């Protein structure tokens, strides 16, 4: 006997339904050749009044907001974001003067030519030049910039926790030291007495504040202690992210295109 139209419609509807459990079952499905080299760790930066055009074009963005430069998600600067710090690195990056051809390669470079850890012995000597605070390599239009990486998990309002990176230099170096000091000052009591908990034991509120010098005005970061991590899943994710960084599995792709300070390198001093 032929099926009724109602039964046929019901069966078609049942076939069309895609249950979430099907996605969960395939969560570990092969993703081809995808590796850390193919993924961009999002930078969290500040939209300045002089920010480059691609950041000014982000819908709803205004100077003083924080932005995830990969997803283009913005965050109000006065409220900021809640993050779990997972790891910290200090690096020295070699840049070519913004907008100029390298005196060594003859080309423009949006990415650093070299990166050194503090213990590396091959980092070149530098010199100051009149009119700026850059550390220039003698005889070149290359400069070396001390940079402070703070790897974090951003705790989103919808419950997600996403990895990201704060890259701080110049005037923001003071904020980096303040953050590290807050982390180092945390003490807990255990069965064997007091101890310093891991970096990812507490959350912090990162906000945006106005700053100025005699010549310039700009926006910078400020960091405040928030509270102890309460969610075991967040703690486990932060620990796993920290371990990945320590194992060298996380790739940082620095770029002058990510710098939201200005199209001209000396307009905003960081």
Say what the pLDDT of residue 205 is.
Answer: 98
Q: Would you say 170 and 218 are in contact if contact means Cβ atoms under 8 Å apart?
A: no
What CA–CA distance (Å, rounded) separates 35 from 194?
Answer: 40
Residue 188 CB neighbours (<10 A): 10
Instruction: Name the helix (H) or strand (E) containing 237.
Output: helix 232-246
Closest CA to 85 of 258, 214, 261, 205: 205
Q: Would you say 67 and 73 are in contact if contact means Cβ atoms under 8 Å apart?
A: yes
**Residue 139, both tokens:** 């005889």
Say what the pLDDT of residue 196 is.
Answer: 93
Per-residue pLDDT of the chain (270 residues; tens, 9 = 90+): 555 555 555 555 455 566 666 565 665 555 444 444 445 689 999 988 877 655 666 777 888 999 998 888 999 999 999 999 999 999 999 999 988 889 999 988 888 999 999 999 999 999 999 878 899 999 999 999 999 999 999 999 999 999 999 999 988 999 999 999 999 999 999 888 999 999 999 999 999 999 988 788 899 999 999 999 999 999 999 999 999 999 988 888 887 654 434 333 333 333
Q: Please give the model's pTM, rounded to 2 decimal places.
A: 0.80
Say what the pLDDT of residue 6 is.
Answer: 56
């Amino acid at each position: 006997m032929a099926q009724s139209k109602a039964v046929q419609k019901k069966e078609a509807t049942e076939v069309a339904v895609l249950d979430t459990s099907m996605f969960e079952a395939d969560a570990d499905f092969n993703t081809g050749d995808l590796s850390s080299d193919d993924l961009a760790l999002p930078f969290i930066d500040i939209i300045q009044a002089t920010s480059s055009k691609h950041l000014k074009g982000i819908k709803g963005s205004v100077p003083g907001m924080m932005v995830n430069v990969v997803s283009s998600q913005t965050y109000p600067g006065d409220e900021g974001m809640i993050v779990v710090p997972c790891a910290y690195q200090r690096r020295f990056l070699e840049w070519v003067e913004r907008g100029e051809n390298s005196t060594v390669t003859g080309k423009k470079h949006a990415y650093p030519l070299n990166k050194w850890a503090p213990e590396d012995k091959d980092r070149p000597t530098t010199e100051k030049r009149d009119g700026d605070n850059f550390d220039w390599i003698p005889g070149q239009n290359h400069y070396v910039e001390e940079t402070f990486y703070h790897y974090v998990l951003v705790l989103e309002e919808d419950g997600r926790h996403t990895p990201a990176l704060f890259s701080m230099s110049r005037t923001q170096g003071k904020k980096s030291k303040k953050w590290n000091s807050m982390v180092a000052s945390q003490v807990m009591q255990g069965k064997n007495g007091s101890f310093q908990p891991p970096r990812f034991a507490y959350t912090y509120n990162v906000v945006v504040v106005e700053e100025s010098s005699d010549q310039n005005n700009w926006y910078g970061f400020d960091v405040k202690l928030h509270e102890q991590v309460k969610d075991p899943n967040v703690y486990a994710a932060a620990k796993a992210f920290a371990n990945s960084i320590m194992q060298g599995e996380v790739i940082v792709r620095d770029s002058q295109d990510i710098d939201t300070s200005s199209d001209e390198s000396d307009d905003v001093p960081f």
